[in-house]
A and B are shown apart, each in its own frame.
Chain A
């Protein structure tokens, strides 16, 4: 099928050879989980570019970017600050229109933003006029989900995120970590096909971040979501990702796409332990080197 062929083409382009890392040669071409003929990607960004028009001229935020995320895959995006990561995310979510290129979901043009692709923002963006419960239920309420079903799903999320005790609290009564857990629960409650996260732990303290990173990796094992996850922490990227996409400095383009296989010996460890392992450090150093050259280039 045409779709399959196109996918294959994109994959080969993604798989730029990375001499320092042994696994990279095969990266992207073969998803770690299903080695069968490349399926239609769940989320596909095709030639996405974005130019902002401002008073003082045009700002080219994104150069044409191609990125494909397979079903159940967690792709991490790292890059220097201001390289267009958030822009990429907004476009993927359908919140912003690209200047050129298109977003596809399941091989079809994606429509406007909607519960099929939910977003967890860096600033929590909880609705101040809704309780924890109300925030989590929001997407279900606006979709007109029946009450019993809604309550069941909210309860499930409260349980999952350890928020049951705070169900009736107002957002301003919660700590930052709890607020972010509510934001994640809110995004998950609508059972999105794709989860988009824009530096979700950026505003948190180190301990809370570690705990939530652990929870995300646990959630992943349980629920198998398709996730595009933006971060500025290389460690987080290596720890959580199936793939790490490194972006160039502005205008952002995809510099490198690195697969992190599932059978790495540190998989399943806590992040502090994992980050001590030699293999982990090798990935980290490689990615850091790429980002450093990008920052210097700028």
Chain B
């Protein structure tokens, strides 16, 4: 009942609305693509500035088989994915334990909080110039930027998840004879898992965004690099192919995470809905 939109009469068929929404949505996207095609073909703006969707699709196919700026589209995507996974994995490996520790051992908070809060507000890209000086135009630089973008989400969500666990649960575990570590592992972490998982999802998503920025500035491979090469070569089609590839990969992986979340964390599935 609560799902019905505010102004729609509550008697309106609640479920039947879904297909209608799908139809309208698909139509609206189709309209946009068609309008784009028409405007581009009409020649109001030069094709150099606004290619048609068809051009972009063709360019997509070309880039998939031909080498451009060092590798094919798949090669660039793979390079980006590698850096992304390395950076995000490090952020998760360090960030989640830190977040859990901060929640579980309160005296750590004043030790960590000042530096964390100071650094948290520096956007990941602001680290690019210094990272370049440190590590050159290497995978390490890119991965570091991903790490910096992903780390806070891991810490904050792990901290939040653990500190929101009802204090009655650890007490109940202690009453049943569980030690500190056992309580943490068997009781607290499973309850906090949805929030931690949300953190991981946000970490990957933030990392992906930051990686693109880093690749725009430095590097010789990757989807961000592909876009910047498109800019240098004045090829809007290449830029758009890169943007689409980045968006599609990001969306795909986020979708995958949602599926995994539902499969692995069937308990408390709703607890995970709090965002960063």
Contact = CB atoms under 8 A, between A and B. Distances in A.
A and B: interacting chains? yes
A129 interface: no
A264 interface: no
Interface string B2-27: 00000001110111100000000000
A173 to B, nearest CB: 24
A55 B9 contact: no
B9 A54 contact: no
Interface residues of B, number: 7
Nearest to A86: B1
B14 A96 contact: no
B13 A54 contact: yes
A53 interface: yes
Q: What's the interface size class on A, roughly?
A: under 10
A61 to B, nearest CB: 10
B15 A55 contact: yes
A97 interface: yes
Interface in A35-82: 50, 52-55
A90 B16 CA distance: 22
A52 B16 CA distance: 12
A51 to B, nearest CB: 9
Contacts of B16: 53, 55
B12 to A, nearest CB: 9
A54 B9 CA distance: 14
B20 to A, nearest CB: 13
Contacts of A90: 10
Nearest to A90: B10
Contacts of B13: 53-54
A95 B10 CA distance: 9
17 contacts: A50-B11, A52-B11, A53-B11, A53-B13, A53-B16, A54-B13, A54-B14, A54-B15, A55-B15, A55-B16, A90-B10, A95-B10, A96-B9, A96-B10, A96-B11, A97-B9, A97-B11
Interface of A: 50, 52-55, 90, 95-97
